[in-house]
Amino acid sequence: MTIFETVIPYQIADKITNCHELSPDLVAHVYLLMLERNDIDDETKFFARCAYQQWTWYNSEFNKLYRPHFLIELNEEICTEEDEPIHNDKFRKHFREYLIQQPEDVYDWFRREIALMYLDGMNYRQIQAATRINLRYISQTINQFKDDVYNSFYSDSDNNDSDNIQLDA
């Protein structure tokens, strides 16, 4: 593994993690994963892809070991271009709770399962291959899930914000 004799893995990890304090741990984790493989042609490309997946996929081995509090960080992949990405702890907490709570009906369960496949890193075609569902329905389902999460967040935050107002009796 000649890539690890240079600073390249650390530079890649810093770019992926935005210089997070766990960046060196990510390098070590991916190094151990690469030791188990014998079929790596381009070490740099494989390292970059593997490090990105380990950092961004909420159920990756790295996140389970080093970031157990981490469930998901919304980024450009889940937000469409016209949406404004939300990056705050209040929304992340709501999102975690939304994923954990019991689905209200079978349609809600279906939307969550498709969205979880997407959040796990599967693209639309991989979801289609796994479920045999039409790509159009997969796209609509993920968009509906995203809308449900945003709507429930804004309705909850509006209700919670109004609790702080005290009316004179």
Query: Residue holding tokens 């081995």?
Result: 61
| Ranges of each domain in the chain | 2-66, 89-161
pLDDT, tens only, 113-166: 898 888 887 888 889 999 999 989 998 998 888 888 888 887 765 554 444 444
Helix (H, G, I), strand (E, B) or coil at 138: helix
Which whole-number Å values give the CA distances from 24 to 50, 81, 149, in the listed order? 14, 32, 34
pLDDT confidence of residue 119:
82
pLDDT, tens only, 29-70: 999 988 888 888 888 999 999 999 888 877 788 877 776 555
The maximal CA–CA distance of the chain, rounded, in angstroms, is: 74
pLDDT confidence of residue 77:
41
pLDDT confidence of residue 152:
84
pLDDT confidence of residue 122:
82
- Answer yes or no: is pLDDT of 22 > 70: yes
pLDDT, tens only, 69-101: 554 443 434 444 444 444 567 777 888 888 888
Lowest model confidence (mean pLDDT) among 21-25, 52-56, 92-96, 103-107? 92-96
Which pair of structure tokens corresponds to residue 5? 């004799």
Q: Contacts for 26-33 with beta carbons within 8 Å, 24 or more apart?
A: 26/51, 26/54, 26/55, 26/62, 26/66, 27/51, 29/54, 29/61, 29/62, 29/65, 29/66, 30/54, 30/62, 31/1, 31/4, 33/61
Cα separation of 70 and 67, whole Å?
5
